[in-house]
Chains A and B, each alone.
Chain A
Amino acid sequence: MRSEQEAQLRRRVSQLLEDGTLKVVLGYASGFKGTRPLFVQDTRHVDRLVWNEACEANLTGYLLREPLKEMLDAGNRIGLVVKGCDMRAVNVLIQEGQVDRSKIYLIGMVCEGVRDGSDFSLKCRNCRVQIPEGCDETIGTHTELERLEGNPLEDILKVKAMDLAERWAYWKQELSRCIKCYACRQACPMCYCQECITEKSRPQWIEKAPTLSGNIAYHFIRAIHLAGRCVSCGECSRACPMDIPVDMLTRFVAATIEEEFGYIAGEDVNAKPFLGTYRQDDPEDFIR
């Protein structure tokens, strides 16, 4: 199915650029170790677009960064190639008023799973959004889809099973390697503040130097800032040059929120932000 999808994607992008519907389309091209993002503005470059198992990245974050942000602000309509899971990120950005839905054109790809190296990505396990919803058009057939078995929280459960001392040692070991390059922040589609709290100096919340206590403060604050917003796309960990599984922290918070409150960030574009809602029957048994 993938090669047919790829051919159709190229055809459609070509048409959309030609008839002036879109100024630019963001998709995937072949690159070092899999794929890289590709901005197609000219129909001559359409053939560089690919659709394959290596299209793991969530490209949504680019919408809020240059040069796309400037193009959007100037009133251009922008095309974006998305998987079902990427749609959750788009939805959160719409929910938070950061993206005007009418300014973007979503080309949804029916997805048979993407790979992180040789294995299917954790996020593909037990995937419920293989067929993207809410797109302007969808490419691919709905039949013959095989659901990928497994638990997307496998890595988290492993750490959770450790005893307290063991877990502390694990995180100390992982987070002490952080070099505070902020690649995780830059890669995250939800980290779009123009002035990040890490840059605040009055007061200075987070030590600038990569010390363990400062690193812990940074990653914990990041997890809290993504509470109810993290869509578990894993971009942060993919971006980490030190191979720290930083996404485990934000995904753990997301999993807790789903378990306790039944809220999945980005699942419903019309839902109110998680931290901004209050129901009388909210569970409170975990408050001690």
Chain B
Amino acid sequence: MARIGVFVCWCGSNIASTVDVKAVAKAAASFPGVAHATDYKYMCSDPGQNLIRETIESEHLTGLVVAACSPRMHEPTFRRLALETGMNPYLVEMANIREHCSWVHEDKGEATAKAIETVRMLVEKVKRNSPLEEIRVPVTKKALVIGGGVAGIQAGLDIVTAGIPVIMVERSPSIGGHMAQLDETFPTLDCSQCILTPKMVELSQHRLVTLHTFSEIDEVSGFVGNFKVKIRKKARTVDHDKCTGCGICMEKCPAKVSSEFDRGLSDRKAIYVPFPQAIPNKPVIDRSSCIWFTKGRCGVCKKLCPAEAIDFEEKDVIVEEQVGAIVVATGYDLIDRGLYGEYGHGKIKDVIDGLQFERMLSASGPTGGKIVRPSDGATPKTVVFVQCVGSRDDSKGIPYCSRICCMYTAKHAMLYKHRVKDGKAYIFYIDVRAGGKGYEEFVKRAVDEDRVVYLRGRVSRIFEKNGTVFVKGSDTLSGQQVEIRADLVVLATAVTSSHGSRELAQRLRIGFDQYGFFTEAHPKLRPVETTTPGIYLAGACQAPKDIPDTVSQASAAASKVIGLLSSDELIREPLVARVDEKVCIACFMCESTCPYGAIEHVTWKDPETRKEKEVARVNPGICEGCGACLPVCRPKALDLMGFSDEQIYGEINALSDLVKVIHDE
């Protein structure tokens, strides 16, 4: 026989001013199965909790309904309290008479009536609750970091500091990411490579780090604490164990293609190391441009290699790894060159994007740090910078702000003025967003000290006439149309999600938005978690971000990983789906609807008939208790612990007097 205790909280005046709490307690006392009902000013306070504790013992209660605030607020408090008294915590339910009642209603009579009905429902539910035990899952103390840019590097370094091994997978031949392409960074103008390369080296030489460059994620299965990852190590065609990195092959290779790292401002060979500080600093062969692979002849590198490291027969290798947590740090891309035809991007030689300009500024870049016109190599005397190229432009399908452009454009203009003293720099902008620490001062410095001219308005067209580039736009502050003869135009093109991000998200079973950026579990309170437990986000793969924000998020993600992997077992709430094997018909509709891959196929022996059959099983380590599998299970072999059909049915039936039913006529 159930002996339920009902505890009605006033929450000071939060509840008591709108709900007649005494009337609620009085009504609850008369519900069948309720052994005791009372009210108190603050149930969550020490005296309130003591009251409950004492009543559980004196009245020999078998279940509790705390009529108070949202379960999100204090359910853990009262469940912990129950556990202390020896009661199973899952025999405690909250009736939310604050958010669902007092806060949203004005009429005291009606609010009280609703509170009484809410309590009636929860009493019926608790009667049907069964004790549940926490789920314990062992964890693999190893982390996977996807992406070897500054976000991945920082996350990896922080994780290994805690003694947890890290496996890093990077798609391109070297770690470093976009930050390795940059020259000086805002707002302090420190050299990007000088601050990044020590981190690259530290990571790659750390005894707990396994580096897989030129590799991609093929498959991810398993669940938090126990992911199984298949990593495809793409054929480098160069055996890195033998290669000494002497560079003869790259020197002699006859095949030239434009360099991705220099964004087309220079050429690289088919056998190449993307940049001088690359890690690993050993080449790979790009088979799409290698003459041996495209035409079946050449082989110069193989002939000349003193270490005999070239292996044309090499195939992709799949490496399997087990990890407990995953950090996704896959970074960003820039919009396609074709998107802004009206700006001549990709057509007019002297119209380049910010990252190309960045390569030009770099001392190790294609021009050795000299700012030149790509068309003739002359020093440009007038440079026009255009902000928001793509960003904040609904008509191009990118309504969001790319966040980094205002700052890097100010930096570009500033660095240009430092190097070309008599040059003129104009910046077209919509507004200047300089919200970070030291950012506004930086922009002001560009205007005040370096005399960069800011023109508020959009550029309508960039065109070439008789070998000269013209930028036509409006200056909305003076209300005039302007046309500037430019030697060089630098477009701050929009940041987009990294190519292949959607496919990766599907493999990882994490969410992504319409632009392909990965979605966090909560925009404010869980910014580095994904909705899939054990998978975290760092950097621009979540949304456009600058370096300080990226590094902060990477460290945050790392701390989440360290927290997760700090114990030997994960403890999970037992609110998961469960299969009644006897009833299961093995149609596996549940498997196709489960967003977490929690359904397994197992053989089950009927203890009565001793017959074996295949049935579905829910892996409690993976199940998130979302309940998507329940409605597709026709015989109702599946049920959700803590929210079982019987419990919900009991709740609804408690209201049957209020519900209009179809009566037989």
Contacts and interface: CB of A to CB of B under 8 A. Distances in A.
Contacts of A75: none
A277 B589 contact: no
A192 interface: yes
A272 B592 contact: yes
B592 A194 contact: no
A197 interface: yes
Contacts of B635: 193-197
A67 interface: no
Interface string B634-665: 11100000000110011000000000011111
Contact of A202 (B585, B587, B646, B662): B646
Contacts of A172: 665
B589 A273 contact: yes
Contacts, number: 58
Nearest to A277: B592
Contact of B585 (A192, A273, A275, A277): A192
A276 B593 contact: yes
B649 A203 contact: yes
A212 interface: yes
A275 B634 contact: no
B632 interface: yes
B589 A203 contact: no
A96 interface: yes
Contacts of A128: none
Contact of B588 (A97, A195, A225, A277): A97
Interface residues of A, number: 25
Given A203-B645, A211-B664, A275-B593, A98 B587 contact: yes
A203 B586 CA distance: 22
A197 B636 contact: yes
B583 interface: yes
A213 interface: yes
Contacts of B591: 276
B519 to A, nearest CB: 14
Interface string B268-294: 000000000000000000000000000
A142 interface: no
Interface string A200-233: 1011010000011100100000000100000000
B337 interface: no
B28 to A, nearest CB: 23
Given A195-B635, A275-B632, A276-B632, A96 B589 contact: yes
Interface in A266-282: 272-273, 275-277
A200 B637 CA distance: 11
B60 interface: no
A186 B587 CA distance: 18
B582 interface: yes
B664 A213 contact: yes
Interface string B619-644: 00000000000001011100000000
A200 B636 CA distance: 9
A277 B593 CA distance: 7
Given A212-B662, A212-B664, A225-B634, A195 B583 contact: yes
A7 to B, nearest CB: 39
Contacts of B588: 96-97
Contacts of B582: 195
Contacts of B646: 202-203
Nearest to A221: B634
B634 A197 contact: yes
Contacts of A197: 634-636
Contact of A213 (B583, B593, B662): B662
Contacts of A202: 646
B502 to A, nearest CB: 9
A190 to B, nearest CB: 9
Q: Which of B587, B649, B650, B663 has the most CB of A within 10 A?
A: B587
Interface string B586-605: 11110111000000000000
Contacts of A276: 589, 591-593, 632
Interface string A77-119: 0000000000000000000111000000000000000000000
Contacts of B636: 197, 200, 205
Interface in A231-265: none
Nearest to A194: B585
Contacts of B664: 176, 211-213
B589 A275 contact: yes
Contacts of A273: 587, 589, 592
Interface in A175-195: 176, 192-195
Contacts of B650: 203
B630 to A, nearest CB: 12
B662 A97 contact: no
A213 B656 CA distance: 14
B417 to A, nearest CB: 47
Nearest to B584: A194
Nearest to B580: A195
5 contacts: A195-B582, A202-B646, A212-B662, A213-B661, A225-B634
9 closest residue pairs by CB, A with B? A276-B592, A203-B649, A193-B635, A96-B587, A212-B664, A213-B662, A225-B634, A195-B583, A275-B632
Given A192-B585, A213-B661, A275-B632, 6 more contacts: A97-B614, A98-B586, A196-B635, A197-B635, A203-B646, A212-B664
Interface of B: 582-583, 585-589, 591-593, 614, 632, 634-636, 645-646, 649-650, 661-665
Interface of A: 96-98, 172, 176, 192-197, 200, 202-203, 205, 211-213, 216, 225, 272-273, 275-277
